[in-house]
A and B are shown apart, each in its own frame.
Chain A
Amino acid sequence: MPQEYKLLLKHADADGYSNDLECYERHGGYAALRQALTIAPAGDNTPQAQLRKRVLDSGLRGRGGAGFSCGLKWSFVRHPNPKPVYLICNADESEPGTFKDRQIIYKDPHQLIEGMIISCWANHVNLAYIYIRGEFTEGAKILNTALAEARAKGYLGKDILGSGHDLEIHVHRGAGAYICGEETGLIESLEGKRAYPRIKPPYFPAALGLYMCPTIVNNVETLCNVKHIVEMGAEAFTKLGTPNNTGTRLVSLSGDVKNPGYFEIETGKVTLGELIHDENFGGGLREGRMLQAVIPGGSSSKVLKAGEIFKLGEEEIALLDVPYDFDTLMKIGTMSGSGAIIVIDDSRDIVECLANLAEFYAHESCGQCTPCREGSLWMNKALHRMTHGEGRAEDADYLKHIAQNIQGRTICAFGEACAWPVLSFVEKFRDEFEAKAK
């Protein structure tokens, strides 16, 4: 029977575990930081370069949505750099269906802070920010308390643990916009401006990020993993999960399952079917219900239809047998995104489901660039017209036309985020859309 594998959440939910520093240290906290700070130079390789190499070798991929190699992202910043380098923890967790980062922030904040301090040390960062979702008011308080504790103990501030390295971390609360999770939008917001994502090129954060300085933006879960990579070594980390999909993933499971919640799994070692049906995870659908669809990686990921069979090279694989990892989900035309699985059973009107998503995206489009600004609301209006008895035979193609004019033509990935659900829902559930015609 597939089991959870608790690496990041090892202690968080344990009885008697609290989010204060004393408890964290009692459970071995900040040992990884001490270890990182005492790495000896090896030849030309500085301790920092060795740490960065270790993260690259671990195969750690970003847990925020894109699944990009963390070590590679770090390597885009040149050292030594004439400008200050900043690190930002993206704690804006706002992808619908996602509720994993908050578990760490609320229950084990020092794990994140330790991961951040190590990452800052590795990348020569003296000033870092945690950009936290505005709605996490309590989370911001918890982080500030934890930062104060860490500061008092010398884990932050001047000359951390005698290493000669200075670091300060500030918590910055967002004000409730999804787009602030997009890294360049986040940077603009952190600079005190409207969170309009920047054009790339030229504004890649690694070169022209916060205050036009090199900036690394990493997700909460990603930064926590850095601590574990230091602790267990890159090689041991690669043994977790599956090749190129190393480590564990925090999965947020929601929708029509008996036991929704968050789970930590070895990446790729548990299938979608197991996550939905197994007693250790979703516990199956409600009595008498059939699976209709699965949104596998947050609301932006392309929907999968119950009963779908995918061709992977020579092999065929059924939806429920798809291992939950980065690469397989990409190969079957979707993504594991932020690790948020939304299960839709046959009691749901699929057009209503999409209309609900479209409303979210129309509301959250920042409106900076034309295709997304106009297209997101257009799709929303069309879908709500359809769910209000005004559907037309041509609406499936009409929706496709609108969505195709958004994807790949916008400043940021929000364009894809709002187009992909529409494109995939319409493609896979065309009958349902055509049935809405008067």
Chain B
Amino acid sequence: MPDEAKVEEPSVIETIAVKVDGKQVAVPKLTPDWQGKLVPTTVLQACKHAGIEIPHYCYHPKLPVAGNCRMCLVHVGMPGRPGPDGKPPMNEDGSLKIDPMVLPYERGTPKGVIGCATNLIPGMEIYASSPETKEMREAVLESLLINHPLDCTICDQAGECKLQEYSMEHGQAESQFAEQKVHKPKAVDLGPRIVLDAERCVLCTRCIRFSADIAGDDALGIVNRGSYNSIATFPGAPFDNNYTLNTADICPVGALTSKDFRFQMRVWFLKETNSLCTGCATGCNTVIGSRENKMYRQEPRENDAVNGPWMCDSGRLDYKWIGSEKRLSKLNGATDWTTILAEITTNLEKAAVTSVAIIASARQTNEELFLLKKLADKFEAITDSVPRNGEGDHLLVNADKNPNSNGARLIGIAGETLGANLPAIAEGIENGTIKSLIVFGEDVTQHGISAALLEKLDLLIVSDIFANATTARAHYLLPGCAYAEKRGTFTNVKGQVQKFMKALDAPGNARAEWEFLHELVENVTGQNGFSTIEGLFNQMAGEVDAFKAKELNWAALGDDGVTVEI
């Protein structure tokens, strides 16, 4: 990459005046490139500023420019070369003379430039919707389609395919092609998670560039020549890094498909819900695709403050458990929520101050942790949550496998080091000072509080979504929700407070933890909290220092979230 073009960020945004479809527009002189470095604005970006979408396949704002698909060819007009006086040719009225570009060797034929790699020149005219530009697009589309199998009916990309979309917007109904199509490999197993249909491929090389330049795994390349070109891996080296599924996302056509999703569901039937990945503390933004209460996929949702447009494969595929038949869906200790909450309230009311301990989970939402903190304050309870450490990587995967460790810290459920209070809690149970334990979402027998200790408790209240050694010993078991079944917020490793929405209904009698916790807190403390997630969040934002400092409120979180001091 050119390393000379170091650009200082200008204090005032300098603009450049160009014409797009006859309309004068001032666009920023510099625009961030794929790495965020400010570089001269291109024709394609200028059109975007002017509200005109230039169709493209190979261009991707977060990948190095390749310029190979030619779909973004645009006819432009340029100022002439300066004459002997050093001045460019002028019109009679003194304005800059702009000449539509023509082929140098055939001056009657318009010449296009690729919008993705052509920098703006002051005075430039971009004929984004002219017949000349339209003709160039039609020709490129025709070329892309002559050897394409046109198998939309069985293609997973149908419905979100750029070939389909551009054919409708910019294509021609018929092709003149009268020859035999090229046949290329189909259903090629590129690796454990990705399948290639080489006939559908438009050879834009997005996948190659992503893998080499973003994932840092130079695993994909092109073999053969000309129209027989095909994406391939090195022989015997499967495409198997932890980011391979992003190539299926950025593949503009149905060439690369996810083994997990292919042939499962037509995309237009999917309900899309903004969510977050809970696999680690990064908190990649996602979109859940579900239909009839079943989750079919989750894809990254672009957020430059967090994950850009990417996410890791392990996080993306970590959702099968949500629909598992082994999910807890029945209350244990009473038959209905009203009774069980009333009984728990009665029992807790009897508990002496400091005789209660709470072990929460850093997989819980800020709101749930906030409510647990309210309970803890009432009993001056000792609290903590369980640390979950693993390996991180160079891109998105964080070593902290809890999605909300920072939430637990900021709200005061846990100290700087998660789990530091667990030995004290164990000791308290052992010596009988702690008689009641509330556990959310953790099997504490795996974290230093043995089953034998649990047996000593007068009261064990547990909420979880799967059965384990702790739930087995609960006096009251409250089935909770997976993240996809509720709303809430997490605070990620960088302090980004972000919200996620509900995509699915919880199984059976399971309820969102914040809902029943809210009731419990009201019963026990007498404080009447908010019964909506928005109200609850806003209440929390007024009480938790770090949130208060940023004057957070639910609506202002938007889709991208807000960063707080950690």
Interface of A toward B, CB cutoff 8 Å: 82, 177, 194, 196, 199, 201-202, 208, 212, 362-371, 373-378, 381-382, 385, 392, 398, 401, 404-405, 407-411, 416
Contact = CB atoms under 8 A, between A and B. Distances in A.
A410 B114 CA distance: 9
Given A199-B65, A370-B69, A409 B117 contact: no
A370 B225 contact: no
Given A371-B139, A381-B179, A365 B225 contact: yes
Contacts of A196: 68
A175 to B, nearest CB: 12
Contacts of A409: 70, 73, 112, 136, 139-140
A88 B111 CA distance: 31
A374 B109 contact: no
B324 interface: no
A377 B140 contact: no
B363 to A, nearest CB: 45
A365 B203 CA distance: 14
Contacts of A367: 203, 222, 224-229
When A and B form their complex, which 5 residue pairs have the shortest distance between CB atoms, in order from nearest? A367-B229, A405-B139, A374-B143, A365-B226, A381-B179
Given A367-B225, A409-B136, A202 B2 contact: yes
Highest count of chain A CB atoms <10 Å: which of B67, B73, B147: B67
Given A363-B226, A408-B109, A371 B68 contact: no
Interface in B53-76: 65-71, 73
A405 B65 contact: no
Contacts of B224: 367
Nearest to A407: B103
Interface string B67-91: 1111101000000000000000000
Contacts of B222: 194, 367
B103 A212 contact: no
B182 interface: yes
Could you tell me the dominant secondary structure of chain B's interface residues?
Answer: loop
A83 to B, nearest CB: 8
Nearest to A382: B179
10 contacts: A199-B65, A363-B226, A369-B69, A373-B227, A377-B182, A378-B177, A382-B178, A382-B179, A409-B70, A409-B136
A16 B164 CA distance: 69
A363 B225 contact: yes
Given A194-B221, A407-B103, A409-B70, A373 B229 contact: yes
Interface string B142-162: 111011000000000000000
B1 interface: yes
Contacts of A407: 103, 106
Interface in B205-225: 221-222, 224-225
Contact of B226 (A199, A208, A376, A401): A376
A404 B111 CA distance: 11
Contacts of B221: 194
B303 interface: no
Interface string B87-119: 000000000000000010110010110100111
Nearest to B66: A199
B112 to A, nearest CB: 6
Contact of A378 (B67, B70, B118, B146): B146
Contact of A370 (B143, B176, B177, B228): B143
Nearest to A372: B226
B226 A411 contact: no
Contacts of B117: 199, 201-202
Contacts of B71: 370
A197 B478 CA distance: 64
B264 interface: no
Contacts of B227: 362, 365, 367, 373-374, 376-377
B202 interface: yes
A215 B136 CA distance: 33
Contacts of B176: 398, 401
Given A362-B227, A366-B226, A398-B178, 8 more contacts: A82-B4, A199-B117, A363-B226, A365-B227, A377-B227, A405-B142, A408-B106, A411-B68
Given A367-B226, A373-B203, A410 B146 contact: no
Contacts of A365: 225-227
A381 B180 contact: yes
B119 A368 contact: no
B3 interface: yes
Contacts of B2: 202, 208, 212
B182 A201 contact: no
Nearest to A394: B176
B70 A369 contact: yes
**Interface core residue of A363, A364, A381, A416 (most chain B CB under 10 Å):** A381
Nearest to A395: B178
A199 B2 CA distance: 13
Contacts of A201: 117-119
B226 A370 contact: no
A416 B221 CA distance: 26
A392 B119 contact: no
Contacts of A371: 70, 139-140, 143
A408 B182 contact: no
Nearest to B204: A370
B156 to A, nearest CB: 23
A225 B542 CA distance: 81
B143 A405 contact: yes
A315 to B, nearest CB: 22
Given A212-B2, A370-B202, A385 B140 contact: no
A368 B69 CA distance: 8
Contacts of B4: 82
Contacts of A370: 68-71, 140, 143-144, 202-203
Contacts of B180: 381
B1 A373 contact: no
A366 B179 contact: no
Contacts of A404: 109
A344 B166 CA distance: 44
Contacts of A82: 4
Nearest to A405: B139
Contacts of A405: 139-140, 142-143
Q: Which one of A177, A365, A373, A385 has the highest number of Cβ atoms from chain B below 10 Å of its Cβ? A: A373
Best-buried of A369, A392, A401, A410 by chain B (most CB within 10 Å): A369
Contacts of A362: 226-227
B70 A410 contact: yes
B65 A375 contact: no
Interface in B117-137: 117-119, 136
Nearest to B5: A202
B146 A212 contact: no
Nearest to B177: A378
A335 to B, nearest CB: 9
A177 B225 contact: yes
A366 B119 CA distance: 26
B143 to A, nearest CB: 4
Contact of B68 (A208, A363, A368, A377): A368
A281 B105 CA distance: 31
Contacts of B179: 378, 381-382, 385
